[in-house]
Structures are given as structure tokens and as C-alpha cells.
Amino acid sequence: MINKITIIGVGLIGGSLALALKERNLAKVVFGYGRDQSRLEEAQKSNVIDAFSTNIKEAIDEANIVVIATPVGTFKDILDQIEPLISSNVIITDVGSTKSDIVNIVNDVLRDKSSCFIPAHPIAGKERSGFEVSDSKLYDGKKVIITPQEMNSPESIDVIDQMWKNVGADVDFMSAESHDNLLGMTSHLPHMLAFSLVNYLVDQNPNASIYAGGGFKDFSRIASGDAVMWRDICLQNKNQIMGHLKGYQSTLDDLLEAINDEDSEKLGQLFTTAKKTRDSWLG
Amino acid sequence: MINKITIIGVGLIGGSLALALKERNLAKVVFGYGRDQSRLEEAQKSNVIDAFSTNIKEAIDEANIVVIATPVGTFKDILDQIEPLISSNVIITDVGSTKSDIVNIVNDVLRDKSSCFIPAHPIAGKERSGFEVSDSKLYDGKKVIITPQEMNSPESIDVIDQMWKNVGADVDFMSAESHDNLLGMTSHLPHMLAFSLVNYLVDQNPNASIYAGGGFKDFSRIASGDAVMWRDICLQNKNQIMGHLKGYQSTLDDLLEAINDEDSEKLGQLFTTAKKTRDSWLG
């Protein structure tokens, strides 16, 4: 069993990992770090974490694994504080939803100590945030993508791989660039489309939503994502997101052309392909 | 109590109306018409309808209300058959998801008898179709939009208004043009975006969906809509849909510009507006 795992940032993602680790007895101590003493006290009372500190030195002292689970915008600050405290055998990992940008920050700040950092991204979440909605089953059957760096030791990668497998996740490996392209497409693009749809509708007719059917409500659910988080994702994954938005606009142009030409056959094909694809994804 | 209400097309929408009418004893006979004898037999056995015929004359004979609940592509044929059979006191209505196009067809076919036709659109549905998934509560609290024609008598409009109110719906009145613009925005546009998203993704990477989070799955659910129905809606509401797709592309252009400029403030504003709007729609 691992002696101590420290979670930096005990929100939904960090809290759910903490709960899952505790429930399966995967660490002697699951330790929380944050800036807000009262929030950490509440998280401990709710049995999400075993112990906590608002002092970073105390938090990572003798930790075997440190999981950074704060918004990516805070990474530089946190790594700056951690860098002088890194011992030879600690493994640091993260849960950030972009990877190339994070790897750049890590290499800038940790320099020759960067080999201890294993970049990872669990693809799981909820509409709500905060440790109160933590769920020990959040990662059950979910994908976690690890994007190893060249200098990572196989043993360190294996520790993080095992940690996620032990809480029920299905782990895949790919490059940071592939991750950012893939998530740019499957997550960032749909969020951009949903935010834009809501903004378009409210601009056209603020009362339109009362006539919206179930489909629209599903669609717009993801427009409730945290604005600061999504702003940061746009800045961190700028090129991939822009590429996918432009590619998507070409797809819309094809559809517009088919509608303009009243091309029944092409319209039928476009919608049949989409329906078949979508239904096959469900199967 | 109304003597006889005939439902032309006993699928999800027609079947749910039939069930709701029967459950609340709103008609002595709820009569089904369709082309497939065995399907109608099954619907009768399942108590969705009281009686049925595959003969249109028999179906509308002595009916007080005839509800056309077939795909809009079939309207001309059905109206052609009904036209010689229309008595002075029958009221005909529909459930089609576009209205201007239907009104044009009605006026072309029924000519001086068009005043008996009250155009209507219940905004309700399910992912699945067929009378087997009919639900007597489908219209509970849902919007029904009636788009009266100038020559409709207030009494006829009132009969259809009452029918929908009696099955639990909330009825609004507007022009056919306003309806088509509104639905083009709240229903047709999101469907076009979802179909296009699925097509873009499968074109880029057929396996991408395994890395898709919950948000994407919600988003793509509506891409499972019936391809033929959506093709017809595109043709029937061509101008409104094209207008909204172009307007939406402008909104995407604004977002692309903000990402390209790394304009944190504007990105934060765009996402905050969308989130606040969306959350207010839920309230």
C-alpha cells in the first residue's frame, strides 16, 4: 500500500479520486492541500480526505504521489512552490484537460526535475463542482489518458497507471499532441458549439428557450461549464481548437450548400450517416 | 364530449394524443387511420385507439376533428384524398414541425375549404418512434403552438385550443412565419449542429467517440433523429434554417477571433453570458 497521496485542490475531480483511493484502501493517508482552511476542514469532516494542510511543504512532505487537481491556470504557481521541495522518489501527476501546454509549464519550472511528472487526464466530470459532489465511482469505466514524457521512468509511469486502474479507470497512452487534438475534437469543440448556440439564441430572442424541446436542453447542458476553466482551455489548446472550429465550419458549409440546392439525396445521406454513426457509438 | 376524433398516422405523436384523449374521456371514439392494417390492429390491441380503418372515407366519416400526424412529406397526398370528403363541420388540424409550408399545401389543395384547417405544432417528442412508445403524459406541460389562418373561425380555433389544453398542453398563438423562425432557431438549428458535429468527428477520426465525455454524448443524442424527417424539415423550412446557420456561423467567427487574439476578457465574457443564460433557462 502507498504511504501518502497528496491531492492539491480538493474539488470534484480531486475529491472523487480521494474518495476512491480511501474506499479501496489504496493509501495509508490521503492528504488534501488547498488555500481555504475551512473548506479543507469540511472535506475532512465529510471523510473525503484523511488529513490536510494549507502549508504546501507539510502537504507534500513524504508524499509518494502528488496529484495536482487545480485549474491549469494555477499550475505555474504551484509548481514554483513545489520545485524546491521535490524529493528523489516523489511522483507528481495532474488531471488537466490539456496536456502540451502543461508539459511546457512543467519543463520550464521543474527543469531537470521534470522526469518525476507524469501528465494524465481522466475524462470524467459532472455539471456541478466542489468536493460536496465527489463520487468514489466517478472514474469507474472511464478513460484516463496518460501522455508520458520521454524522460519519465517506466516505473513512475506504472505507478500512475496502476493508481487509475485501481480506482476503476481504463488507461490509454498517447502523445500530448494526440491527446490535445483528440480532446479538442471530442470535448472542446462541442463545448464551443454549445456556448455559441446559447449566445446566438439569446442574442436573437431572449425568450426563445421556452419553445425549446428536449434536444435543445441536452445540447445546451454543457454550456453550463465553468467560464474561467473554458477560457483557460481555449488559451491552452488554442491551435487545436481553432483548427477544429474551422473544420467544423466547413462541414456546416457543406450542409448549407445542400440545403440551398435543395439536394434531397445529399441531405438524406448526411443525416443517415450521422444517425448511423451516433447509434453505433451507443452500441 | 366530442363524438369522433380521427388520428391520421398512429405513431408516437398521434398515438400519444390518442392515449391522452382516451384516458381523459375527451371523445366517444378515437379512430386511427393508416396504410398498414396489422400495425393498426396492434395499436388497437394495445388500447392506443378504439377503432381503425385503412379506408380514408370510413376513417373521416362523421369525425368532428381529424388530426394529421404523418410526416409532412405525405400531406399533399392525404389532403388530396380528404378534400372531396370534407363535410361542413369537420375541423382538420396537424402536428407538423414547420407551418408556412404546410399552410401553402393546405391552401393549394383545399382551396375554399381551407378554413377548416387549423395549423398546430406540439413541441414534444422522444428519441424513439412508433405507437409502442406512445405516452398519455407526453403533452403534459408542453408547448403547443397554433398558427391560425385569417379565414379560420374563432370557434374552430377554440376547439383545437381546448383539445390541446385538455391533454395538459400550454397553448400559444403566433403567425406561421414566427413559428418557423422560432423553431428554426430552437429546434432545427441545434439538430443541424449535432448532425454536423457527428459527421465532422467521424470524418476526422472514426474512433474518437470512445474518448468523448458525457457532454458530447448529450450533444449528439439529437443526431439520432430520423433522417427522412430532418431532410424534409430542411426543405420545408429552408430559408429560416439557412438564415440561422449563417447567423450561427457569425457567432462562431466571433469566438474564433477571440481565441486567435487570446482575448481572455472577451472569452470570459462569452462563456459567462452563455452559462448565466443557460442557467436562467433552467430556473
Measured CA to CA, the distance from residue B258 to residue A54 in angstroms comes to 36
Residues B160 and B185 in one domain: no
Q: How many CB atoms within 10 Å of residue A228?
A: 15
Residues A149 and A253 in one domain: no
What pLDDT digit, counting tens, does each position of B171-205 carry? 999 999 999 999 999 999 999 999 999 999 989 98
Residues B62 and B137 in one domain: yes
Last residue of a domain, one of A158, A174, A190: A174
Last residue of a domain, one of B140, B159, B174: B174
Q: Which chain B residue lies closest to A143 (C-alpha atoms)?
A: B211
Confidence of residue B210 (pLDDT cuts 50, 70, 90): confident
Shortest CA distance to B108 belongs to which of B75, B85, B61? B75
> Which CATH number characterizes residue B195's domain?
1.10.3660.10
> Are A210 and B143 within 8 A, CB to CB?
yes
Q: Is the pLDDT of residue B117 over 90?
A: yes
Q: What would the mean pLDDT of B65-85 be, rounded to a whole number? A: 94
Q: How many CB atoms within 10 Å of residue B53?
A: 17
The residues in A 105-134 lying below 8 A from B, measured between CB atoms, are 123-125
pTM beyond cutoff 0.90? no
Residues A161 and A268 in one domain: no
Q: What is the pLDDT of residue B128?
A: 76
Residues 6+ apart with CB under 8 A from A209: A201, A216, B186, B281
Q: Is the pLDDT of residue B126 over 80?
A: no
Measured CA to CA, the distance from residue B188 to residue A218 in angstroms comes to 14
What residues in A contact B255, CB-CB < 8 Å?
192, 195-196, 245
Last residue of a domain, one of A154, A174, A194: A174
What residues in B contact A268, CB-CB < 8 Å?
227-228, 231
Q: Which of A12, A175, A231, A233 should one mutate to test binding to chain B, selecting the residue with the greatest count of B CBs within 10 A?
A: A231
Confidence of residue A246 (pLDDT cuts 50, 70, 90): very high
Measured CA to CA, the distance from residue A73 to residue A96 in angstroms comes to 10
What pLDDT digit, counting tens, does each position of B213-267 carry? 666 777 777 787 788 889 999 999 999 999 999 999 999 999 999 999 999 999 9
The DSSP secondary structure of B44-69, one letter per residue, reads HHTTS-SEEES-HHHHHTT-SEEEE-
Q: Is the pLDDT of residue A229 over 90?
A: no
What residues in B contact A222, CB-CB < 8 Å?
215-216, 218-219
Residues B158 and B209 in one domain: no
Looking at residue B159, the DSSP 8-state letter turns out to be: H
Domains: count for chain B:
2
Residues A186 and A147 in one domain: no
Among the listed ranges A193-207, B9-23, B174-188, which one has the minimum average pLDDT value?
A193-207
Measured CA to CA, the distance from residue A171 to residue A148 in angstroms comes to 12
What pLDDT digit, counting tens, does each position of B102-112 carry? 999 999 999 99
What residues in A contact B210, CB-CB < 8 Å?
143
Sort B137 into a burial class: Cβ within 10 Å, 0-12 / 13-18 / 19+: middle
Domain with B130 in it:
2-174
Mean model confidence pLDDT for chain B:
93
In chain A, the DSSP E strands lie at: 2-8, 27-33, 51-53, 65-68, 91-94, 117-118, 120-122, 143-146, 170-173
Q: Which of B259, B276, B279, B280 should one mutate to test binding to chain A, selecting the residue with the greatest count of A CBs within 10 A?
A: B259
> Are A143 and B226 within 8 A, CB to CB?
no
Q: What is the pLDDT of residue B215?
A: 66
Confidence of residue A213 (pLDDT cuts 50, 70, 90): low
> Which CATH number characterizes residue B137's domain?
3.40.50.720
ipTM surpasses 0.90: no
Q: Are A73 and A84 in contact (CB under 8 A)?
A: no
Mean model confidence pLDDT for chain A:
93
Residues B8 and B89 in one domain: yes
Residues B46 and B166 in one domain: yes
